[in-house]
Amino acid sequence: MVIAGLALACVGALVWWLGPRLGHGDGLLPGDISFRRGSFSVHFPIVTCLVVSVVLTVLMRLFRQ
């Protein structure tokens, strides 16, 4: 579990570091909702959550068998 957690943290750090360099400056996928009014902003990463859920489900099913 510790190794899996460290691996996931490394992948997350890599994605966070590469995100702006790959053209996703604000980190939002198409379909994510973002409201900005003056100094107030709210973000709902709906599509990002769905993508992460599908990827993790596929990985867990692959490692389970």
Position 25 scores a pLDDT of 52
The reported pTM is 0.52
pLDDT tens figures, 17-53: 776 665 555 556 777 788 889 889 888 888 888 888 9
Among 11, 38, 16, CA closest to 26: 16
As beta bridge partners, residue 34 has: 43
Per-residue H/E/C for 4-54: HHHHHHHHHHHHHHHCHHHCCCCCCCECEEEEEECCEEEEECHHHHHHHHH
As beta bridge partners, residue 60 has: none
